[in-house]
Structure 1
Amino acid sequence: MKLHFEPHQSFQLDAINAVAGIFEGQPPDRGDFEYLSGDALFQGMGIGNRLTLGDEQILENVRNVQKVNGLPVSDALDGMNFSVEMETGTGKTYVYLRTIYELHYKYGFKKFVIVVPSIAIREGVLKNLEITFDHFQNLYDRIPVNYLVYDSKRVSALRNFSDNNNIQILVINIDSFAKDENIINKPNDRLTGKRPVEFIQSTRPIVIVDEPQNMETDIRKNAIANLNPLCTLRYSATHTNRYNMVYSLDPVRAYDLGLVKQIEVDSIVTENDFNEAFIALEKTTATKTKTSAKIKIDVNTASGVVRKTVTAKVGDDLYELSGRRDVYKSGCIINGIDVADGFIELSNGETIFTGDARGGLTDEVMKVQIRKTVEEHFQKERKYQDKGIKVLSLFFIDRVANYRAYDASGNALKGKFALWFEEIYNELSSKSSYQGLISHAASDVHNGYFSQDKKGNWNDTRGNSQADDDTFRLIMKDKERLLDIQ
C-alpha cells in the first residue's frame, strides 16, 4: 500500500506561499561561505543559509503577506519568529516539509532544523519525511535531500549536516539540546574539541518548531535561539504566542472549508460522574514513627489534571494534596489509617480498602465502553464494506496490566480488557446481522503497543523517554499495514 498526496490543495499552498513571501526579493544563493564560531574561524568552507534582505524589507514583506491573508499587521518584527496556525488534521507537517522544498527552490536555502517536543512527534515527522519523499521529489525535479534524526551517540553526523551541499533536514527533540549538560553542548574530542552544536550554528539554519506552545519557557526559547537560526518558523493549531502570524487556518475556517474531523461521543455515564473525586488506596505502611498511605488521586498540575500517587498521613486533606481541586473539598480528610486490615477512613465516614477505589471508572463502566465500541465498529464495518474503507477503533487505557500481564515465569497473559474484548467480540460477531461480515477470530483483531522493560515485559511509560523510542517507531512505521484494507 502506498499513500497518495494531493499537491493542489489551496489551503496548504496558501500556507506555503505565506512563508515563502516573507523572503520576497531574496536572490537565490548557492550557500557557500566561511563561517565563524565565537572568535575562531573554522577551517574550510561551510554550506549554510545566507540572508541578504534587511529587517525593513522583511517587515514590509511580512505585512504584505498578513494583508493578503486578512491577519493583523505586525508593528515590528519581534525577532525573526514567524507563526503559522493550522487546525489539527489539515496537513501541518506536510505544509512545513513542502515549505522546505519551496524555500530552496526560490531562494536556495539548504539547512533546516525541525525541533519537536516529544519522541512521539519526532517519529511522526520522520514517518512523514519517508512517505512524502517521492511525492516531493516529483514536484521539485528530484532535488537531492538528506534527512537525519539527531543521535547523541553519533554527533559526528552533524559535520556532514554542516558541510553537505544538498538540502539537509535535521530532526531533533528539544530536550536533546536545552541544557548545558547535554552532549550536543559540550566540547567533543571526535570533533577536534568543538561542541557539536557549533556545526548547526555555523549554517544559520531555518528552524521549524513543531508545537511551539510546548517550548515557551525561557530555557527552551534560549536553546532554540542558541542554534543561531536565520529565522524560526512556528507551526501549531494552538499557539500560546502568535509571533508575526503570517497564515491562519483556525477551527472556524477549517469547518467552513469542510476540513474538520468529526467525532461521535457516546456517553454511558452522567456528566457529573466525570467530576467525582477519584480516590484509590494502593497500600498502607507503618514504621516506628509514623503510619502513611499511598493514595492515587487526580491532581492539578501546570499541564492539566493528572492522576498520580500521593503519600498521606492521618489529618492530611486530599483537597490540599490534589492542588485544591473542588471535588475533594468536602469529606476527604484522612481520619484513620489501618495497616493491619489495609484501609483508610475519610472524614465523610467512607472506608476504602487496599486495591479498591471510589469515583472514576468502575469495571462495569469500562466493560460497557468496550461493548459500545465493538458495536459501533461492527455497524461501521457493515456501512463501509463496499466502499473499500477500513474501520479502526482505538482504546486509550489506564494501565498496561489491564490489557496484558505476565505470570511468574514471564509468560504473557491477557488482562481483563483483552478478555472482555474477546468475549464481547465473539458474542456480537455471532449475531445474524453480522454474518459474512466478520471473518477474523477475536484474538487476531486486537493488539496493543507499549514500551518494554529490560526483561522484554510491557510497562507503563509517559511517551518521552528512551524506552518509548521503539514503541513509537513501530506505530508510525507500520502505518501503511495498519491502513491496508487486507
Structure 2
Amino acid sequence: MELILKRNLPHQQIPIERLCSVFSNVGIQKPMKSIENPIIDVKNSYLYHNIKHLQDDLPLNLKGISSVNDYLNIDIKMETGTGKTYVYTKAIYELNRLYGFKKFIIAVPSLPIKAGTANFIQNQNNIKHFKNVCGYNTEIKLRTVESVRTKKGSKKYIPSSIRDFVTSSIIQKNTIEVLLVNMHHLKETKTGVLVREDYDSHIEGFFRPVDAISATRPIMIIDEPHRFSRDNATFKFIEEQIKPQMIIRFGATFPDKTIGRGKSKVEVKDYQNLIYDLNIHKAFEQNLIKGVAKEHVEGPDGKEEIFKILTIKKGEYVKFQKTVLNDKNQIVKMTKELKKNDSLSLLSPKFQGITVDGILATKIVLSNGEEKFTGDTFFADVFATSYVRESIRLALKRHFETERENFKRKFRIKTLALFFIDDINSYRDNGLKEPYLKKIFEEELREKLKQEIEICRDSETEYRKYLEESLENISKTHAGYFSQDNISTEEEIEKEVNVILFDKEKLLSLEGEANTRRFIFSKWTLKEGWDNPNIFTIAKLRSSGSDNSKLQEIGRGLRLPVDETGNRIENETFILNYIVDFTEKDFVKKLEQEIYGESSFEQKSLTTDQVEKLAKNKGVSNEELVTELMVKGFISFNLDIKPDKLQEFIVEYPELFNKLDKGRITDRNKDKVKKVGIRQQNYWKLKDLWEQLNKKYYLYLDKVDDEKLLNIISDVITEDLINKSVSKTKRETVEMVQGELIFNTTLDTIDSSINDTLDYGEFLKIMAKNTNLSIPLIHTGIVKASKLKKIEDIFFTLDTVRSFSTYFKQRIYDEMLKIYSYRKLPHTTVHPTELTEENGDPREYVKTSAYLGVNERKGTPIETYLYDTILSDSSIEESNIIENISSVEVFGKIPKRTLQIPFIDGSTYSPDFMYIVKDNDGKPTLNLVVESKGVKKKQELRGTEEHKIEAAYKLFNTVKELEIKDSYRGKADTAEFEELLKSKSINVHYRRQTNNEEILDIINDLIQNN
C-alpha cells in the first residue's frame, strides 16, 4: 500500500505561509561564497514587525518578540499527530523556492525519530507528492550523520554525507541539501564525528566538520524542542559551534524556563517568536486527532492495592512490592522480603492461610499450588489472576471491538495496538528466564481469537479468515522494539525492528505475509517522534514512573488513521483506547488540566455577552441565570469567577469555556459507556430519510470571471478604507532593551511613510502572494482604478497590501455566496453509519452515543422517538424530544458529524433533528430536518450563521433535484420534471428553530403549506 499525502490542509498550510511571510519586505542578500545560503539580515526591523503581525491571533501570554544577536529564532507549535514532519519538509521546499535557501539541518533527539524523518523524506511516494502534486521542481538530497567507525591504523576520512552537504554549490539548481543529525552528535567530545580534528582530509579548508557546516550559514530545524532546552549542552553547541543564521523549532511541547525570583518565580514555556499555535485543545476541537478513552482495571472490592514480585534469591527469599493509594490519593510503595514457609498475610490479611512453599530461580511455589514469577503483578483479591493479565484482557477487548468495526468498512483499516512494558526480558527470550509476559499475552490472545471467531456472522467471511490466520500463527501477530535492538544481530529481531521503525506501509497493510502483525511491544523506547496512524489502543503495562507530559504519553496513537488504500480518514471521530494501571486513575483529570493550561484560560469574570448566550441556550432570563450561578457558588454578585470553583464550573457549563465535547476525552471507569438502543421498528420508518441524509455532497464553486475580479480590485482600491490605512501619520519604532525588542509608537509626519514605499514590481509580487491573484490581473485593476482616482507613490506600501487583502477577501466572500452550489459525490456508499451496519440494517445500539448529547434526562422516551434514551445538548433540544405530537410518525436526533454540510469558508454545518410527519391525509409523507438555534429570534443570528443556514436550504433543494434527475433521467420532459419537483414523497424540508418557536408550530406550518 501507499500512504497518500494531502496538500493544502489548512492546519498544515497556515504555518508554512506564516513562516515564509516572516521575510516579507526583508532584503535577503546574495551569498558571498558558493557553499553558503543567502544571508538574512537578522537585525532588520521588518522581520520583527512581521512576526508581531503574525502573532495577532495568539493569546496574550504567548505573544512576544525576542531577538538573539547572531540568529533569528522562530517557533511553530503543532500538536502530536497533526503532521509537523510534513509541514517542516514542505517548508524547506517553500523557503528554497521563494528565497533560495539551500542548506538545512534537521536536528532530532533520538534514533526512532531520526529513522522516521529519514523514511518520510526518502519515501518515493512522498517525493512524487512534493514534485507532482505540490509542483516543486527541486529534490531534497538527504545526508544523514552517522558515527565514524575506523579500524586502528586506518585513515580517518570525513564522512561523505557531511562533505557532500558542505561542498554542494548554491549554483546547482533543483537540489536542496538537508543534513539529518540526532542530538547524540551535537556535543563537544573528543571522538565526536562533528568535532574531532584528526581526520586525514579537510573540507573547504576546515578540518573540523562542524566548522565547515557552520560556514554554509545553515538554517536549523529542531524537532521536539522540549528535548533541546536552551541551557543544555546540545543547544549551546548549536549556537556556538554550528552557528545557524536561523533556528526554526517545530514541536508539540516546548521547554520550560523560570522567570522572576522568590515568591514571584514561575515556570513558563520558553517560546521565542511563536507564530503558530495549534495546541491540543484546537487539535481535538477541529477533529485533527483521535479522541481518548482512558481505562484501568479496578480491584474487585474497589480498593486500589497491588503486589509485585521484584526479585527472587533462589532458596533464600523473595522480595515483594506493595503499591497502594492513600487517603489523599497519593501513591505509596512498600517492600517486604519473605522466606520459605512465611505467610503471605504479612503482606495483606487477604492472603491469610497462604504460605511460601518453595523459592526457585525465577518463580515461587505457594501452598495453594499456584506459581508466581519474577515481575508478576497481582491483586490480593483475585490472586489466581495477575493484574497484568487482566490489563491485557482489557486491552484485547478494546482492540477487537475497534478492529471488527474497522474491518467492516468498504476500505478496511488495519488496526494496531501498542503495549509498553517495564522489562525486555519479560517479552524477549534471553535463555535465562521465561518471558512470562509474552506467554501471558499469547495465552490471552489465543482465547480471545477463538471467542471472536465464534461470533463472526455469515457476512464476515473475510474477517473470520483474518482471525483464523492469526490463530494459526500467534507469534506472527506481534513484534517488539527495544533500545537493545539497535545492536542486535538476530535476523528475526532485525526484521521486526525494520517493519516497526522503517516500513510503516508494510505494518499498515492487510495484504502479504505480515498482514496479521498488529500488536507492538516496547519499553517506552517508542516515544516522541514515532507514531503510527492506526494505533487504536495503547496499554501501559507499567506506570510511566515520572510526571511525563500526558500529551507526550498518548501521542503515539493520536494521528488520524489511514485505510487500506493509503487515504487518511477525515470528518469522522476515532477513539484511542488508553489502558493504564490504577496508579494513574486520575489520568483524564491531569490530561484536561494540561489541555486547558495549553488553551490559556485567563478570564477572571463573566462578560455580559457570555451571560446572554448561556441564558438564551437554557431558555431563561439573564437574571435567573446569574442567580443560579451565584447559588452554586461559581460567581460573585459582580460576575467574578471564584478560582476554587473554576474546574467545577468548566465541567458543568462547558459551552461557556469552549470546552471540548465530552466524548473527546473520557474516563471509562467514571463515565461508563452509555449504550443507547435504537428502536428497530422506528428506524425502518426513518430509513429512506436517513439514507438520503447520509449521501455525500460536495461544495462546487463557479469561477469568478476576470472582469468581475477587475471590478472588485478597482472598487477596493478606490474606497476610502485603504486611504485611511496608508495615510496614518504614526509609525512604530523598535529598540533593544535587555535582549528584548520593544515596540514604541512615535508620532511622525506623512513623509515617514515614504521609507515604507515598495518598488512597484515588489508591490505586485506581495499582492499576488497575499491574494492568489495573478500579477497581470492586479496591474490591470490598478490601472483601471487610477483612471478614477489619483494613486500616489505612498500608496504602494505593506499597509496597503494588508488592507487590500482584508477587503478583497470580504468582497470575494460575498461573490462566493452567489456562485456556490452542491453536487453529489459519485461512487460513494451510505453504510455503515452511526445507526447502521455495512449491509444497511440498523445497529442494536448507536455507535457513538456521545454524539446525541451530553445531558441525560431520566425516564422512557415517547414511542415515536428513535432511541430508548433521552440525550440532548440544550434545553430546546430536550423540549423537542419530550414533546408528543400526534402528527409525527417518527423522529430522532441526528448524531453529530453525520450530516456535515460544507460551507465556503471551509467549515461544516450540522442540523439537529429529523422527522417523518403525516400530511393532511394522515399519511407519513413529509420529511423534515430541523436546526435548533439557541437564540430568541431569527434576527439575532449573526452573518456567518445565517449564511450557513441558507446553505442548508440550498443543499436540500439540490438533493431534491438530483434525486429526481437520477430516478427519471431521460424519461421525463420539462413539464413532467417540474411536477416531480413538487412531489412530496422525495422532498426534504428544512427549518430552523429558535428558543421562541415551538416545534409543534413548525410542524403545523409544514402540514398546512404542503
TM range (shorter): 0.7 to 0.9
User: Post-superposition shift, 1:389?
Assistant: 2.4
Pairing of 1:169-248 with structure 2 (within 5 A): 169-181=178-190, 182-192=192-202, 194-216=207-229, 217-225=231-239, 226-240=241-255, 241-248=270-277
Q: Does 1:168 align with 2:163?
A: no
Tell me, yes or no, if the aligned pair for 1:29 and 1:107 is still in contact at 8 Å: no
Of structures 1 and 2, the one with the larger relative CO (CA 8 A, separation 6+) is 1
Partner of 2:419: 396
How do 1:250-265 and structure 2 match up within 5 A? 250-265=279-294
**2:181 partner letter:** I
CA distance in 2 between partners of 1:375 and 1:178 (Å):
46
Rounded to whole Å, the distance in 2 between the matches of 1:454 and 1:73 is 48
Q: Residue 333 of structure 1: CA displacement?
A: 6.4
- Cα distance, 1:59–1:346 mapped onto 2, change above 3 Å: farther
1:158 aligns with 2:162: yes
Is the 1:187–1:195 Cα contact (8 Å) retained in structure 2? yes
Over 3 Å counting, the alpha-carbon distance change for 1:89 and 1:360 in structure 2 is: farther
Residue by residue, what CA displacement relative to the aligned partner does 1:397-427 show, whole Å, maximum 9, x if unpaired? Answer: 424444443658x9xx963322331232123
SS in 2 for 1:207: strand
Q: Confirm or deny: 8 A CA contact 2:189 2:195 kept in the other structure.
A: yes
1:58 pairs with 2:84: no
Mapped contact 1:83–1:244 kept (Cα < 8 A):
yes
Measured after TM superposition, the shift of residue 278 of structure 1 is 5.7
CA distance 1:277–1:370, change in 2 (3 Å): closer
Partner of 1:14: 14
Partner of 1:387: 410
Q: Which amino acid aligns with 2:504?
A: K
**Counterpart residue number, 1:312:** none
What per-residue deviation string (whole Å, max 9, x for no partner) do you get for residues 68-116 of structure 1?
A: 5566542432562221111121111111111111111111111111111
Q: Distance in 2 between matches of 1:470 and 1:342?
A: 47
Deviation of 1:231 (Å): 1.3
Listed one character per residue, the Cα deviations across residues 351-371 of structure 1 (whole Å, up to 9, x for unaligned) are 997645686688544334433
For residues 16-415 of structure 1, what are the structure 2 equivalents within 5 Å? 16-27=16-27, 31=31, 33-34=32-33, 45-52=34-41, 54-67=43-56, 72-78=62-68, 80-131=72-123, 132-138=126-132, 139-153=134-148, 155-165=159-169, 166-181=175-190, 182-192=192-202, 194-216=207-229, 217-225=231-239, 226-240=241-255, 241-269=270-298, 276=305, 279-284=308-313, 327-328=331-332, 332=334, 355=373, 364-384=386-406, 385-398=408-421, 399-405=423-429, 415=439
Q: What is the deviation of 1:142?
A: 2.1
1:276–1:142 distance in 2 versus 1, CA, 3 Å: farther
Q: Secondary structure at the match of 1:247?
A: strand
Q: 1:291-322, CA deviations, whole angstroms, 9 ceiling, x for partnerless residues?
A: 99887799xxxxxxxxxxxxxxxxxxx9xxxx
Does structure 1 conserve the Cα–Cα contact (< 8 Å) formed by 2:312 and 2:374? no
Q: Distance in 1 between matches of 2:80 and 2:302?
A: 29
One-letter amino acid matched to 1:396: F
User: Given residue 478 of structure 1, which amino acid in structure 2 is its aligned partner?
Assistant: D
Tell me how far apart the structure 2 counterparts of residues 148 and 271 of structure 1 sit (CA, whole Å).
56
Residue 47 of structure 1 contacts residue 163 of structure 1 at CA under 8 Å; is this kept in 2?
no
Alpha-carbon distance change, 125 to 297 in structure 1, aligned in 2, over 3 angstroms: farther
Q: SS state of the match for residue 7, structure 1?
A: coil
Please report how far the alpha carbon of residue 456 of structure 1 lies from its aligned counterpart in structure 2 after TM superposition. Answer: 2.4
Whose radius of gyration is greater, 1 or 2? 2
Whole-Å separation in 2 of the counterparts to 1:247 and 1:20: 12
Partner Cα distance (1:274, 1:49) in 2: 65
Partner of 1:310: none
CA pair 292-427 structure 1, distance change in 2 beyond 3 A:
closer
User: Which is worse superposed, 185-194 or 109-118?
Assistant: 185-194
- Whole-Å Cα distance in 2 between the matches of residues 345 and 81 of structure 1? 61
Contact 1:119/1:472 (CA < 8 Å) preserved in 2? no
C-alpha offsets along residues 229-286 of structure 1, whole Å, 9 cap, x if unaligned? Answer: 1111111112221111111011222233221311333433259989747653313499
User: What secondary structure does 2:250 align onto?
Assistant: strand
Q: Distance in 1 between matches of 2:237 and 2:439?
A: 43
1: distance between equivalents of 2:285 and 2:234? 35
In the aligned structure 2, how far is the partner of 1:176 from the partner of 1:273? 50
Tell me which residue corresponds to 2:490: 456
Q: Is the 8 A contact 1:403 1:416 kept in 2?
A: no
Q: In 2, Cα distance between the equivalents of 1:135 and 1:392?
A: 26
| Residue matched to 2:633 | none
Amino acid paired to 2:185: S
Structure 2 unpaired stretches of 5+ = 149-157, 170-174, 256-269, 365-372, 512-1010
What is the TM-score normalised by the length of structure 2? 0.39
CA contact (8 A) 2:108 2:181 kept: yes
Counterpart of 1:446 in structure 2 is 477
> 2:447 is matched with which residue?
423
Give yes or no for contact 2:225–2:250 (8 Å, CA) kept in 1.
Answer: yes
Tell me the percent identity. Answer: 22
What SS does the corresponding residue of 2:291 show, helix, strand or coil? Answer: coil
Deviation track 1:186-234 (CA, whole Å, cap 9, x = no partner) reads: 1132333711212221112111111111111421220221211111111
Q: What SS is found at the alignment partner of 2:143?
A: strand
Distance 1:292 1:403, change over 3 A: closer
Assess, with a 3 A threshold, how the Cα gap between structure 1 residues 125 and 471 changes in structure 2: closer, same or farther.
farther
Q: Against the structure 1 CA distance between its residues 473 and 197, is the aligned structure 2 distance closer, same or farther, given a 3 Å change threshold?
A: farther
State the Cα distance separating 1:49 from its structure 2 match. Answer: 4.0
Residue type at the aligned position of 2:52: R
Of 504, 507, 517, the residue aligned with 1:479 is: 504
Quick one: distance in 1 between partners of 2:322 and 2:183? Answer: 30
Question: Is contact 1:280-1:297 (8 Å) kept?
Answer: no
Distance 1:271 1:265 in 2: 19
Letter in 2 for 1:380: T
The 3-state SS of whatever aligns with 2:130 is helix
Alpha-carbon distance between aligned partners in 1 of 2:216 and 2:495, rounded to the nearest angstrom: 31
Contact 2:428 2:438 in 1 (8 A): yes
Q: Flag the 1:92–1:343 CA change in 2: closer, same or farther, 3 A.
A: farther
Name whichever of 394-403 and 110-119 sits farther off. 394-403
Over the aligned positions, Cα root-mean-square deviation in angstroms equals: 4.0
Per the alignment, residue 985 of structure 2 pairs with none
Kept in 2: contact 1:20–1:102 (CA 8 A): yes
Stretches of structure 1 that go unaligned for 5 or more consecutive residues are 35-44, 299-317, 319-324, 460-468
- Aligned equivalents of 2:37 and 2:164: distance in 1? 12
Within 1, Cα distance between the matches of 2:189 and 2:390? Answer: 50
Give 1:482 shift. 2.0
- Alpha-carbon distance change, 159 to 270 in structure 1, aligned in 2, over 3 angstroms: same
Shift of 1:438: 1.9
* Distance of 1:474 and 1:294 partners within structure 2: 38
Paired with 1:148 and 1:378, the residues of 2 have a C-alpha distance of: 42
